[in-house]
Amino acid sequence: MRADRLVATLLLMQARGRVTAAELAEELEVSRATARRDLEALSAAGVPVYPQPGRGGGWSLVGGARTDLSGLTSAEARALFLVAGPAASVAPEIRSALRKLVRALPQTFRADAQAAAGATVVDTAAWGEDTRDRPGLVAVLQEAVVRQVRVRLTYRKRGEAPRGRVVDPWGLVDKDGTWYLVAGTDDGQRTFRLDRVLGASLTGTPASRPADFELAGAWDEVVTAVERKRSETTAVVLVPTRFLEIFRNQHGRHCTVVEERGEHTKVELTAPRPLDIARNVAGWGGLIAVESPEVEEHLARIGAELVSRYPRAAPAGPAGS
């Protein structure tokens, strides 16, 4: 159960007064069962939420309760907004609630809280990769973003030896479980995958950041540039409709439904090269049909290579066949 989702649930309840499990599930993109468990967890933790049975019911805060932030320490306020910040991308009500919560803080805490709220962005659209566990370096880098101090990274690019560099941390992005650091360098803005960061330490030196920098907008530009490179080749594929969701989850935003044809659905796949599409779909074997001569050539070559590497006589049929 994610703490940021529980905070988002509480903020939605404060913004709306009452929510149903179905509404919560739709807003937070989880199942109704998960939404119901989150509401029950808040109640069990002592948050004054209670269910209202019957038509028009839902879950409400007792007496319209509101979170009192006046007793928070600076560290507690920063921790809260680190968790709540990413949830603000879920719905406008949460962004509004966060602004009200900032105003409820003591004046001396507000700058840190606002920095923490904008330190992380959540992007739920996968790039066709498996979700990873949250890297241990996230907390260190969030601290650097909030305190606005430079960080010394040990970073390993694919196919290269690790090297150290000092960067200005501007924000973190959770892209469906794969984490990225957006940072300023001597060469301009750069993006670092956290699973390639071998170590990170705060230098104590103040970091610089453009006055007009906005993490969500900067990440949109990164995604646009990456998608442009990853979408230079397009191929049409016929997929059994019963396996469509599995196929789409495997290929993320690079799979677009074109037309449903009963038992089969026509989709478009994009990738940098025809070879990349062939490699991505080869494991589906004869379940799919590719309508692209270039991709078909690569699939035929891959198939021939496999047959050559793993020669095996066809199994004998039943007696008398």
pLDDT at 84 over 60: no
pLDDT at 201 over 90: yes
Give 274 or 229, the one with higher predicted confidence.
Answer: 274
Range in 65-79, 90-104, 149-163, 198-212 with the lowest mean pLDDT: 65-79
Fold of 3-118: Arc Repressor Mutant, subunit A (1.10.10)
Give 101 or 14, the one with higher predicted confidence.
Answer: 14
Give 111 or 311, the one with higher predicted confidence.
Answer: 311
Residue 217 is predicted with a pLDDT of 86
Determine if the pTM surpasses 0.85.
no
How is the chain split into domains, by residue range?
3-118, 123-228, 231-309
Domains 3-118 and 231-309 share a fold: no
pLDDT at 70 over 50: no
222 φ, ψ to 5°?
-65, -45
Model pLDDT for residues 121-173, shown as the tens digit of each residue: 556 555 555 445 566 788 888 888 878 899 999 998 888 889 999 999 998 88
Residue 215 is predicted with a pLDDT of 84
Of the ranges 37-41, 63-67, 115-119, 195-199, which is most confident? Answer: 195-199
Please count the other Cβ atoms lying within 10 Å of the Cβ belonging to residue 105. Answer: 20
Of the ranges 48-52, 98-102, 198-202, which is most confident? Answer: 198-202
Interacting residues of 166 by C-beta distance below 8 A, sequence separation 6+? 150, 151, 152, 153, 203, 205
Name the average pLDDT for the chain.
78
Name the band, by pLDDT with cuts 50, 70 and 90, for residue 320: very low
What's the rounded mean pLDDT across residues 221-243?
Answer: 87
Name the band, by pLDDT with cuts 50, 70 and 90, for residue 57: confident
Name the band, by pLDDT with cuts 50, 70 and 90, for residue 24: confident
What's the rounded mean pLDDT across residues 256-268?
Answer: 91
Name the band, by pLDDT with cuts 50, 70 and 90, for residue 227: confident
Residue 138 is predicted with a pLDDT of 83
Residue 192 is predicted with a pLDDT of 94
pLDDT at 277 over 90: yes
Q: Give which of 142, 146, 84 is closest to 112, Cα–Cα.
A: 146
Fold of 231-309: Alpha-Beta Plaits (3.30.70)
Residue 172 is predicted with a pLDDT of 86
Report the chain's C-alpha Rg in angstroms: 25
Q: 3-class secondary structure for the chain?
A: CCHHHHHHHHHHHHHHCEECHHHHHHHHCCCHHHHHHHHHHHHHCCCCEEEECCCCCEEEEHHHCCCCCCCCCHHHHHHHHHHHHHHCCCCHHHHHHHHHHHHHCCHHHHHHHHHHHCCEEEECCCCCCCCCCCCCCHHHHHHHHHHCEEEEEEECCCCCCCEEEEEEEEEEEEECCEEEEEEEECCEEEEEEHHHEEEEEEEEEECCCCCCCCHHHHHHHHHHHHHHHHCCEEEEEEEEHHHHHHHHHHHHHHEEEEEEECCEEEEEEEECCHHHHHHHHHHHHHHCEEECHHHHHHHHHHHHHHHHHCCCCCCCCCCCC
